[in-house]
Amino acid sequence: MAQRWIIHVDLDAFFASVEELLQPALRGKPLIVGGNPNERGVVSSASYAARAYGVRSAMPVAQALRLCPQAIVVPPRHGEYSRRSRAVMDILREITPAVEQISIDEAFLDVTGCERLWGPVREIGELIQRRVMDEQRLPVSLGIATNRLVAKIACDLGKPKGLVLVEPGTEAAFLAPLPIERLWGVGQVTGGKLRKMGIATIGDLAGWPEAQLARVLGEQGRGLALAARGVDESPLHISRDQRSISQERTFVRDVADEETLQRVLSRMSERVAARLRERHLVGQTVRIKLRYPDFTTITRQVTMPQPTDQGQLIYDQAWKLLGRNWHAGEAVRLLGVAVSGLLSEGGYQLGLFDQQDQRRIRLNRTLDDIRSRFGDDAIQRASWLEAGDDVDDDPPKD
Ligand SMILES: [Mg+2]
């Protein structure tokens, strides 16, 4: 299996950086984007020049001004920030569709397998920084690691304009010297409990047996024991912009023949699956689309117990849906199949699949490999080859 690579992208002092961009006179000055201090406004964002005085996000503006009286306070312009955020996210989605946006200025990218397209993962990171700077004039920091947890912490440590790459196998050593509060879910309460136990760094935490942590902290203790060793297999939740991967076909002549429908559906399912695998995605919901000669169109969908990137499994579900909604002899004008409920494949380790699936996965990897070297038509499954198709693929629509 390809080395899993996750990049955490975080724009530096985003709102303040946008204001500096729009009002060059503010550049380099202590700048606070926030509410009116007389109305108990809080700091939404502070430039690094203001942070040098101890100003932090979520701090009351009145308190921030006591720390840094010369700071310039400007009200937020959320429309402007949203527009620029979308432009940055679009850049990220050109690198890979496997983007999980977690806030207006932060996202995870699953770039597993993207090296073939973009080069080594560090170069992918540099490309992102360069493009966001060249095209949006905004500084961005990146953390690159084998999982979300470590990528996020790496990104935080490099700010601003940082690029921190944690090599596979060095996650625990990278985290060890850091204070426990760097871990997700360790705030004042948990942090206080841990410090009372003599646990100050993530390395201290990693030295404690999981069972003992679970006794003190319950279920959270188990999670922390894993996190402290840099283990995190959680998948990315792909944003709504990549909702589904689909194929559909409008027949040159309406089709009423079961075998042809089966063959076309099988071929489209395989194509959808190959595109899922290309993007390192798995999907859990299969949808079919049926259009009749009078242009009546129906869609039907089913959600499977496990997400998949396997054509046969997608086809099985699609054919069942078709069987329930199509009556023998009925003419069909268009047939489509789509997979949605997409997740990045990285979180689904092979162990979750049964033996037969593992064989299929290996077979499909080989097929994908040959297709990528010799073109899509180099290999066709036997079922595609019976009789010539009198249909053409519609261009992909996703
Ligand atoms: Mg940020």
Rounded distance from Cα 132 to ligand 1 centre (Å): 14
- Look at residues 305, 251, 249, 313 and name the one whose alpha carbon lies nearest to residue 276: 313
Q: What is the pLDDT of residue 375?
A: 46
| pLDDT tens digits along 59-76 | 899 999 999 999 999 998
Q: What is the pLDDT of residue 393?
A: 30
Residue 124 contacts residue 113 (beta carbons within 8 Å): no
Q: Which residues are catalytic?
A: 106
Q: What is the pLDDT of residue 350?
A: 35
Q: What is the pLDDT of residue 370?
A: 54
Rounded distance from Cα 176 to ligand 1 centre (Å): 24
d(CA 297, CA 286): 17
Rounded distance from Cα 212 to ligand 1 centre (Å): 36
Rounded distance from Cα 365 to ligand 1 centre (Å): 38
- Domains in the chain with CATH codes: 173-228 (1.10.150.20), 244-385 (3.30.1490.100)
Give the CA count within 13 Å in the CB-facing half-sphere of 42.
5
Q: What is the pLDDT of residue 19?
A: 97
Neighbours of 252 (CB within 10 A): 10
Which parts of the chain sit beneath pLDDT 50?
347-356, 374-398
Q: What's the whole-model pTM score?
A: 0.63
Q: What is the pLDDT of residue 220?
A: 86
Coil, strand or helix at 108 = strand
